Amino acid sequence: MKKLFLLAFALCLSAVQTAQASPPKDTLVMAFKIDDIISLDPAEIFELSGAEYAANAYDRLIKYNVDHVSEIYPGIAQTWEISDDGLTYVFKIRKGVIFASGNTLSADDVVFSLRRVILLDKSPAFILARFGFTPDNVEKTITKVDDYTVKIVVDKAYAPTFLLYCLTSTAGSVVDKKEVMAHEQDGDLGYGWLRTGYAGSGPYTLRTWKASEIMMLDANKHYWGDAPKLKRIIIRHITESSSQRMLLEKGDIDMARNLTADDLKSLENNTEITLQKRAKGKVYYLGLNQKNQYLKIPEVRQALKYLIDYKGMEQTILNGQATLHQAFLPKGFPGALEETPFSLDIEKAKTLLKKAGLGNGFSVTMDTRNFEPLTSMALSIQSTFAKAGIKLEIIPGDGKQTLTKYRARRHDIYIGDWGPDYMDPHTNANAFAHNPDNADDAKSRSLAWRNAWDIPEMTQKADAALLERDTARRARMYLDLQREHQQCSPFVIMFQKIEVVAEKANVNHFILGPNFDSNFYQYITK
What is the structure's pLDDT at 36? 86
8 A C-beta contact, residue 99 and residue 179? yes
Does residue 425 have a cis bond before it (omega within 30 degrees)? no
Mind spelling out the 3-state secondary structure of 164-202? HHHHCCHHHEECCHHHHHCCCCCCCCCHHHHCCCCCCCC
- Reported as a pLDDT band with limits 50, 70 and 90, residue 400 is confident
Question: Averaged over 370-376, what is the pLDDT?
Answer: 90
Provide the pLDDT for residue 284.
97
- pLDDT category at 413 given cuts 50, 70, 90 is very high
The Cα 347–Cα 324 span in angstroms is 22
Question: Most distant CA pair in the chain: distance in Å?
Answer: 81
Report the pLDDT value the prediction gives residue 310, as an integer from 0 to 100. Answer: 98
Using DSSP bridges, classify how beta strands 232-236 and 214-219 pair: parallel, antiparallel or unpaired: antiparallel
Whether the Cβ atoms of residue 307 and residue 292 lie closer than 8 Å to each other: no
Report pLDDT for 20.
53
Whole-model pTM: value is: 0.86
Sign for the pseudo-dihedral over CA of 353, 356, 358, 361: negative
Average pLDDT of the chain?
A: 94
pLDDT in tens, 70-114: 899 999 999 999 999 999 999 999 999 999 999 999 999 999 999
Q: How confident is the model at residue 11 (pLDDT cuts 50, 70, 90)?
A: very low
Position 15 pLDDT exceeds 60: no
Compare 18 and 309 and report the one with higher pLDDT.
309
Domain spanning 280-497: CATH 3.10.105.10:
yes
pLDDT (0 to 100) of residue 22: 86
pLDDT tens-digit readout, 249-293: 999 999 999 998 889 999 999 999 999 999 999 999 999 999 999
Counting residues of the chain whose pLDDT is more than 70, the rounded percentage is 96
For residues 503-525, give the mean pLDDT. 96
Q: 450 near 409, Cβ under 8 Å?
A: yes
Q: Tell me the CATH number of domain 57-177, given options 3.90.1170.50, 3.40.50.300, 3.90.76.10, 3.30.70.120.
A: 3.90.76.10
Gap between the Cα atoms of 1 and 6, Å rounded: 9
Q: What are phi and psi of 51, to 5 degrees?
A: -65, -40
Which 3-state string (H, E, C) describes 194-242? HCCCCCCCCCEEEEEEECCCEEEEEECCCCCCCCCCCCEEEEECCCCHH
Question: What's the first-to-final CA gap in the chain, in angstroms?
Answer: 46
φ/ψ (deg, to 5) at 310: -55, -55
pLDDT digits (tens, 9 = 90+) for 203-241: 999 999 999 999 999 999 999 999 999 999 999 999 899
- Kindly list the domain boundaries of the chain, sorted by start residue: 57-177, 280-497
